[in-house]
Structure 1
Amino acid sequence: MDSNEVRRQWADRSGEYSPEYYAYYGPDETSETIRAIFEDHLDRDARVLELGCSSGRHLAHLAEHGFENLAGIEINAEAFETMDDTYPDLAADGTFYCDAIEDVITEFPDDRFDAVFSVETLQHIHPDADWVFAELARITADLLVTVENEGDEGDEADVNYVHDDFPLYYRDWNRVFTDRGFEQIDANPGERDTVRAFRAPDTPTDT
């Protein structure tokens, strides 16, 4: 399976793990974790981008707690119809890009966003598109947060097919972004995902 096929799968996704699926469950513990990290490190007017925002449950949670400059990238067009119905204020006030991450991210200027985050999205980037991670580092002015499945210790395979369907690529996200000059400032392994927060190079430390 190449990177084009991976993108096609997510663009056409319905049922489990679709935008409707996530809208049904709404904001969750992960939403709260992201909000807590942002509240510790960002002002409410920070420019925030979510990668693979789906119908917007995490962004909606941020909006409910005062974050006002929100954006998202999502490849599945039906996500925005669901967002209109489920989170109409977010749909009206946010900035959204209906396209693949690979096809949008190069258009942003350096340091375009104060914070960039992903929840179980970067783990689906095909190895052919590893160049995306350098682009993420380029557009992030302050804080980068990953909530991704990194596999279990001792896993021999770099890829796992969920339900024999779509691929999940295991990566060491600490290495991925510290190799690009970021400093890891927090890491919390969970039952399935590991939450990591990185500070961009030359970002002033909190006082």
Structure 2
Amino acid sequence: MSTTTQEAFWSGEFGKAYSDRNNWTSAQYDDFYRHEWGITKTQMNEDCLRDLPKDAKILEVGCNIGLQLRCLQEMGFTNLYGIELQHYAVEKAKEIVKNVNIIQGSGFDIPFKDSYFDVVVTNGVLIHIAPDDLPRIMSEMVRCSKKYVWGFEYFASSLVNINYRGNEGFLWKADYSKIFQENFHQLQEIYRKMYPYVSASQQGNMDYMYLLEKQ
């Protein structure tokens, strides 16, 4: 299944350890966001999606063990899907979040028809895609979305390569919303909110949430 260096990396033991390290309850998930950014993930989502119907069909690409899907479900969203590369994470996700269609697969080859979803989203996933591969995974996300592309990612005004737990070539910061719009001119950004870190260990860094609409 692995087609890139990054996919092979995340499919193995490093990806499994990540899943185990971030296996939180709903309260712990919100507490982590509150500690890092001063706001819960639930509130971030609500601020961005306040006008989205609860029956909107949403696909999360790279859903890992399903924490964001569970958060959306607890917010009242009822039509949720996830795709995740790592088999271990898929099995954990099915234990953590119920009544959600979670499949094993790659964001580079999403097995759903064009415009099948109202929203296609990533949550800290594009940061782990090699820059040269971004247009390919973004193309699949745009293809499957009828209306919105949504994201929460590390932010930098220009591309920055970051050492990730002693590994090079597995983490980048960038303006991913801008990259989407540069490659897919039918997308227009309709929401952007910056989240500077409040935790002492991350001072000076910033993440952001964006929502793009197909025109």
- Normalised TM-score (structure 1): 0.80
Match of 1:205 in 2: none
Partner of residue 204, structure 1: none
Q: 2:160 aligns with which of 140, 158, 161?
A: 158
Q: Which amino acid aligns with 1:188?
A: K
SS at match of 1:9: helix
**Partner Cα separation in structure 2 for residue 31 and residue 19 of structure 1:** 20
Once the two structures are superposed, residues 105-128 of structure 1 have per-residue CA deviations (whole angstroms, 9 ceiling, x without a partner) of: 2x3222111011111101111234
Cα distance per residue 1:122-155 (max 9 Å; x no partner): 111123422221221222112221111123x5x6
How high is the TM-score relative to the length of structure 2?
0.78
2:108–2:140 CA contact under 8 A, matched in 1: no
Q: Which runs of 5+ in 1 are unaligned?
A: 202-207
Q: Is 1:117 the equivalent of 2:121?
A: yes
Q: Could you say if the C-alpha distance between residues 7 and 62 of structure 1 is closer, same or farther in structure 2, counting changes exceeding 3 Å? A: same
Map residues 14-93 of structure 1 onto 2, 5 A cutoff: 14-15=16-17, 18-24=18-24, 26=26, 27-28=29-30, 29-38=40-49, 40-87=50-97, 90=98, 93=99
3-state secondary structure, aligned to 2:189: strand
Aligned partner of residue 177 in structure 1, secondary structure: helix
Tell me by how many angstroms 1:45 deviates. 0.9
Partner of residue 202, structure 2: none
Aligned counterparts of 2:94 and 2:139: Cα–Cα separation in 1: 32
Q: 1:193 Cα deviation (Å)?
A: 1.2
Q: CA deviation at 1:171?
A: 2.9
Query: Aligned pair 1:98/2:112, yes or no?
Result: no
Per-residue deviation, residues 153-192 of structure 1 (Å, max 9, x unmatched): 5x6x632221222611233223222231211111111123
Hey, what does 2:210 align to over in structure 1? 196
Distance 1:86 1:95, change over 3 A: closer
Conserved? CA contact 1:133–1:176, under 8 Å: no
Q: Could you tell me whether the CA contact under 8 Å between 1:47 and 1:70 is conserved in 2?
A: yes
Number of aligned pairs? 188
> Which amino acid letter does the alignment assign opposite residue 159 of structure 1?
N
Kept in 1, the 8 Å contact 2:127–2:172? The answer is: yes
Deviation at 1:85, TM superposition (A): 3.4
Q: Which runs of 5+ in 2 are unaligned?
A: 31-39, 197-205
**Shift in Å, 1:53:** 0.7
Q: Say whether the 8 Å CA contact 1:142–1:199 is kept in structure 2.
A: yes
Match of 1:135 among 114, 133, 140: 140
Aligned CA RMSD, in angstroms, stands at: 2.2
Secondary structure, counterpart of 1:163 in structure 2? coil
Q: How far off its partner does 1:100 sit?
A: 2.0
